Amino acid sequence: MAEGRSPFRRPPTMRDVSRLAGVSPMTVSRTLADPGLVSQETRARVLAAVAQLGYVPDRGAGGLSSRRTGFVALIVPTLTNPNFADTAAGLTQAMRPRGYQPLIGVTGYSVSEEEVVVRAMLSRRPDAIVVSGMQHSPATRDLLARAGVPVVEIWDRPKAPVDRAVGFSNYEVGRLAARTLIGLGATRIAGLGPERTGDVRDFRGEERLRGLRDGLGQAGLPDDRILHHGRAAGAFAHGAEAMAELLRRGGAEAVFLVSDISAFGALMECRRRGVQVPEDVQILGFGDIEIGRQCVPRLSTIAVDATEIGHRTGRLLLGLLDGEADLPNAIDLGFRLVLRDSTAPR
């Protein structure tokens, strides 16, 4: 009764700890931040008081004072795509041991939503910002540039980065796809990506298809089978729908899909219709997600190491935040062709 609304007592503060340990709050702060600064004996007393009270420091208050929040904003189109989930995991793995907490924002591939999310992130004063892609609204670009903290654009290779970049060229991925499928003997080559519905666009996927188109053009092949069809990227159903549409239009000897997720959907659609892969149609995906390695036939793909993008971004940021000099402005992690069972020379 006396305690009132029972579970809602307030957590102990540093002041409480300091009183119990018989020292000043500053000494508690030092004990926790840099134990080497206090004497062995004092440290023991403080830590005992911390344990007894179950004290957990308030990093919000600490951040206000020190101007370092320990947040790293990570803005991705979706977490449902394992590529981005892996990048998030890689970044977390690299930065959490050093006390940084990722703050994840999801845009759903929408440019306007990205702006909203960036604003929400900025209100938390992150120590660094990681954002997918290089295509932003002017307002978003401005927000990022003025944020006053390191900004890393990932999963792309911007010509004019806001600040830093870690990724690869999506356009060159598309060109490699063209060369690869041509090299495998195909001449009727298709490219499948999602529809653009207003503000919702997969810019990087479009860039890969642009590379494919140019690659085909340079080889003197027609690019009339490049389709933007079906719902937004990141859903298996997209690939199935797009492949169905392609077959309706006469099919192709080889198909490049903007993501392995779609490629898997396409593969299954072929199976449902009795279209043999790779005999009747070859399928090449992008991203190298685990499903592609497990499914039958295994998916040929242009692989990027999503986890490594997270790692490298994390290490770059740690260097930047430690004030190291001579850190690269852009890291190109490249990509590599992995031919498995959904393609075969003919």
Chain contacts with DNA (rule: CB under 7 A): 10, 13-15, 22-30, 32-33, 37-39, 41-42, 55, 57-58, 61-62, 64-67
CA torsion angle 94 83 290 191 (round to 10): -150
For the window 235-254, what string marks contact with a second copy as x by the rule CB under 8 A? xxx--x--------------
Give which of a second copy, DNA, none residue 158 binds (C-beta under 5 to 8 Å, depending on kind): none
Strand partners, 318: none
Q: How many chain residues touch a second copy (CB under 8 A)? A: 59
Residue type at 158 in one-letter notation: P
Q: How far is the C-alpha of 168 from the C-alpha of 277, rounded, in Å?
A: 29
Which of 285, 333, 288 minimizes the C-alpha distance to 308?
333
Residue 31 C-beta: closest distance to DNA, Å? 8
Position 290 contacts a second copy (CB under 8 A): yes
Structure tokens at 297: 């036939």
> In the complex, what is the shortest distance from the CB of residue 295 to a second copy, in angstroms, rounded to a whole number?
6
Q: What is the dihedral of CA 122, 10, 23, 33, to 10 degrees?
A: -30
324 binds a second copy (CB under 8 A): no
Contacted by 26, from a second copy, DNA, none: CB < 5 to 8 Å by type: DNA
Residue 106 dihedral angles phi and psi, to the nearest 5°: -120, 130
C-beta closer to a second copy: residue 155 or 171: 155
30 binding partner (options DNA, a second copy, none; Cβ < 5 to 8 Å by kind)? DNA
Most distant pair of Cα atoms in the chain: their distance: 84
Q: Residue 15: which of a second copy, DNA, none does it interact with, CB under 5 to 8 A by kind? A: DNA
